[in-house]
């Protein structure tokens, strides 16, 4: 007697698992089409590098593909993933930078920062880059993506009051930075 080969549920045509996966893929595709550019811009502002930002966003969508239920895939969740991916890349860069400094290497400015047009924009990005991570992230989410306190709270997984106080401190510090350069 031959043993029957059992197939996983998701491979059986018309099963609930197939419908679930197709629904998740459709939602992910819609998010990619509608929001990829704004997600890349978010990552560029956090990283200061266009190519790295595109890689972070692409990695987020690749990891989400087939791995989440349709109801778990939201723009806020994808933004959180991009934010976390950017944080990870910045940590890796920091480790490499420290290693290079110990070895006597000089830190090179990224191509994105060096080719920006306008002295004021360059000064703003430089001052923004000197802010602590959380302050920089809240300002980018608030003023670049135009998110509300509630949306920022959801993306960063902090309280709304913390968002408001962080934005206030970041603006005060940014103003001091920019006035000091004038």
Check: CB of residue 58 under 8 Å from CB of residue 137. no
pLDDT tens for 30-53 read 889 999 999 999 999 888 888 999
Does domain 116-182 fall into CATH 3.30.450.40? no
Give residue-wise pLDDT tens across range 11-32.
434 555 555 556 667 778 888 9
Could you list the pLDDT tens digit for every one of the 182 residues in the chain? 444 443 444 443 455 555 555 666 777 888 899 999 999 999 998 888 889 999 999 999 888 876 665 566 788 889 999 999 999 888 888 887 776 666 654 444 444 444 444 667 778 888 888 899 999 999 989 988 888 999 999 999 999 999 999 999 999 999 888 887 66
| The model's pTM | 0.59
Tokens of 165: 């106080």
- pLDDT score for 122: 76
Q: Count of alpha carbons within 13 Å of 178, Cβ hemisphere only?
A: 15
Every domain of the chain with CATH number 1.10.10.10 lies at 116-182
């Amino acid at each position: 007697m031959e043993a029957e080969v059992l197939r996983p549920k998701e491979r059986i045509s018309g099963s609930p698992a197939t419908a679930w996966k197709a629904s998740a893929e459709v939602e992910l595709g819609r998010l990619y089409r509608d929001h990829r550019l704004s997600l890349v811009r978010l990552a560029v502002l956090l990283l200061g590098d266009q190519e790295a930002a595109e890689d972070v966003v692409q990695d987020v969508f690749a990891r989400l593909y087939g791995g989440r239920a349709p109801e778990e895939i939201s723009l806020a969740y994808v933004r959180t993933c991009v934010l976390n991916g950017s944080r990870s890349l910045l940590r890796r860069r920091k480790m490499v930078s420290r290693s290079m400094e110990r070895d006597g290497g000089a830190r090179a400015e990224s191509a994105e920062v060096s080719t920006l047009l306008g002295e004021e924009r360059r000064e703003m990005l430089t001052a923004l880059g000197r802010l602590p991570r959380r302050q920089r992230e809240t300002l980018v989410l608030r003023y670049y993506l135009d998110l509300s306190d509630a949306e920022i709270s959801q993306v960063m997984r902090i309280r709304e009051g913390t968002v408001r106080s962080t934005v206030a401190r970041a603006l005060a510090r940014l103003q001091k930075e920019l006035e000091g350069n004038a």
